[in-house]
Amino acid sequence: MRPSRRTIVGATTLLVVVLVWYVATTGLGLVSAGRFPAPSDVESAAAQAFGRGYPDATLFVHVMHSLKLVALGFLVSVVLGVLLGLLMGWNRTAEALINPVFLLLRPIPPLAWIPLAILWLGLGDAAKVLVIFLAAFPPSVISTHAGVRAIGPAIIEAAQMLGTPRTRFVTEVLAPAAAPMIFTGLRLSLQASWTTLVAAELVGSLAGLGYVLNVAQQDLYPGMILVGMGAVGILGAASTALLGFAERRLVGWAQTKGAFA
């Protein structure tokens, strides 16, 4: 099976970036190792992280810890966010009651909740999951709400004429019709989960990629900082690709419809 043109272009771009990085640091010495690590420095740091570990565990342990936090925060935000978005999108009374509070809390940056999260839940993982949840929650609500509001009146009227029970209406009409927008919100929520993870783990953590970055910064270890950043980037891209695969399997009909529209 031949690679697609998109894959070839992406791989070429990465190769060019690595080549420029090598020339600027190792080849010509335009950038000092104290400011930005050379590829060899990152390779040594990665070998240490995977081998004897840094600072207190191997990179695999840190990755699994961060994955657990992101998964918990993301899943809770998805369940509650989609349900709330469906409710607000379909029920005008519920929207009138909930939306003012939601609009008031939405502009507050997730990181601003860290002091309260620590006060309520301590320095353990629960506080970090709460912060990740608060970052991932708004996109899922907003996109689901928009998806419900975008449903054509003919679909709703047809379901009502057929006397569809309320539960079946939500699960078989409302949610499937809004599914493309729901998945848009899920992608944004997943991205918010990863971007918030590092900041959440910078406070009171003893494991995780944010902890690795914090200790590496204190140790003035640029190579390890880049290893931690690279791990977050790879995990974020992999989880986004997995979500995209699920979207194609579940709502591929919407993409096909858009291609012929």
Q: What is the mean pLDDT of residues 226-249?
A: 92
pLDDT at 188 over 90: yes
Measured CA to CA, the distance from residue 114 to residue 130 in angstroms comes to 9
Q: What is the mean pLDDT of residues 234-244?
A: 92
Q: What is the mean pLDDT of residues 43-66?
A: 92
pLDDT band per the 50, 70, 90 thresholds, residue 260? very low
DSSP structural state of residue 171: I
Question: Quick one: pLDDT at residue 253?
Answer: 55
Longest dimension (CA), the chain: 74
pLDDT at 80 over 70: yes
Question: Quick one: pLDDT at residue 254?
Answer: 52
Q: C-alpha angle 19/23/26, rounded to 5°?
A: 120
The string of pLDDT tens digits covering residues 162-173 is 777 777 777 777
Measured CA to CA, the distance from residue 10 to residue 120 in angstroms comes to 45
Q: Is 0.75 topped by the overall pTM? A: yes
Alpha helical stretches, state H, the chain: 5-22, 39-50, 59-90, 92-105, 114-121, 125-149, 153-161, 166-169, 175-201, 209-218, 222-260
Question: Quick one: pLDDT at residue 142?
Answer: 92
Q: What is the mean pLDDT of residues 242-250?
A: 88
DSSP structural state of residue 113: G
Q: What is the mean pLDDT of residues 180-206?
A: 88
Domains recognised in the chain with CATH numbers: 45-253 (1.10.3720.10)
DSSP structural state of residue 28: S
Question: Quick one: pLDDT at residue 84?
Answer: 92
Nearest CA to 35 among 160, 220, 192?
Answer: 220
Q: What is the mean pLDDT of residues 130-148?
A: 92
pLDDT at 152 over 80: no
CA 38 to chain centre: 29
Question: Quick one: pLDDT at residue 78?
Answer: 93
